[in-house]
Amino acid sequence: MDAERGDPAGPAAAVAERERLVRGIERGGGLRDARWRAAFAAVPREAFVPVFHDSVLGGYERLSGDDADPLRRAAWLRGVYQDAPLALRVDDEGRLVSSSSQPSLMALMLEELEVTDGCRVLEVGTGSGYNAALLTHRLGASQVTTVDLEEEITAAARERLAAAGFRPYVVTGDGALGCPSRAPFDRIIATCSLGAVPTAWPRQCAADAMILAPLGTGLLKLRVAPDGRAEGRFLPTSVYFVPLRTPGRAAGADGAYEVDAVGLGLPREALGDDRFRFLLDIGAAGLLPQEAYVLWRRERRPRRERYGVTVEGDRQWFWLDDPSGPYAWELGGYPNGA
């Protein structure tokens, strides 16, 4: 026991770090639901990120829980429980492929999901498996399905989940297609950014289900009506996730819309204002940058929560204030009929 207490990355240290993280999220206004607080206090994040890549100037530094150096192991554990996203996989060109999201953002999204006992949840973007473990702690293994594109990701997550005592249904497949064999779902949550809402998702939802997903740099919350129409608004929070990867669509294909505002003759306020960048990001297919700027100024620099999305059959559109109002722009879909 003395040796365990003296290990800077041992079980006692992990419990202390976990409690510190939970207190920090609470101070920031999160984890208002005691059941989610209990999940964050109980699920060991270190079990799901035995290795992560810490950003350093010009690249990443690998930190591991198996490092022979106790000081580096301690740095790894502190990093695991910092309120920050963690890079899990980086490709040969240095691009982030898989990550574990910022815990306070995970807490926000899980609480916004408004689950109740018995809810069937589909998570798109398994990643490390940590978010699936939190869902399983709250709802039970039979209620949680999680999907990711690559067997390398899902196999590792499945193994870590089982080792930590969690056995949700882990699927390898195209997340844009959902998981029809496990439908209908009461909730769908995505932990990857989208360029549009996959139309397969509302079709796999029960009546009055909810879809919570990052669209561009916004967090979209949709309600699904009995007729399959999904509609809702963005939350105020800005978010940044690794894009959803599907067969035939490269990583980064759904990244933020890039524009040189100054080069296009737009004022510097447009370049520096996150609200304007958000409008360009989502409305890029239907707006020229100059048109977007005129609209943005005329409508008093609208915040994210004034925007919404409607999905109706194979059609979907992004709108300001009113889904049937004058400001609406069509959104594209995903390949493979998704």
Q: What is the SS3 string spanning 135-163? A: HHHHHCHHHEEEEECCHHHHHHHHHHHHH
Q: 293, 323, 292, 291: which is closest to 307 by C-alpha? A: 323
- 280 in Cβ contact with 286 (< 8 Å): no
Low-confidence residues of the chain: pLDDT under 50: 1-4, 250-259, 261-262, 335-337
The full set of domain ranges for the chain reads 2-173, 268-330
pTM: predicted TM-score of the whole model, two decimal places = 0.91
- How buried is 33 (Cβ within 10 angstroms: 0-12 exposed, 13-18 middle, 19+ buried)? middle
Cα(63)–Cα(53) distance, integer angstroms? 6
101 tagged catalytic: yes
Cα(255)–Cα(125) distance, integer angstroms? 16
Angle at which helices 274-283 and 289-298 cross, to 10°: 130
> What is the side-by-side strand order in the sheet with 218-224?
169-172, 144-148, 121-124, 185-190, 205-215, 218-224, 230-238, 307-312, 315-320, 328-330
Q: Which residues of 234-257 are buried (b: 16+ CB within 10 A; e: fewer)?
A: bbeebbebbbbbbeebebeebebb
- Number of DSSP helices (H) and strands (E) in the chain, helices first: 11, 14
CATH class of 2-173: alpha beta
Compute and round to an integer the Cα radius of gyration of the chain.
Answer: 21
Q: Say what the pLDDT of residue 258 is.
A: 47
Half-sphere exposure of 183 (CA within 13 A, CB side): 16
**Partners of 189 in the beta sheet?**
123, 212
Catalytic residue selected from 98, 100, 101, 104: 101
Question: Could you identify the residue written with the tokens 């910022």?
Answer: 102
Q: What separation in angstroms does the CA of 134 have from each of 24, 128, 253?
A: 18, 12, 29
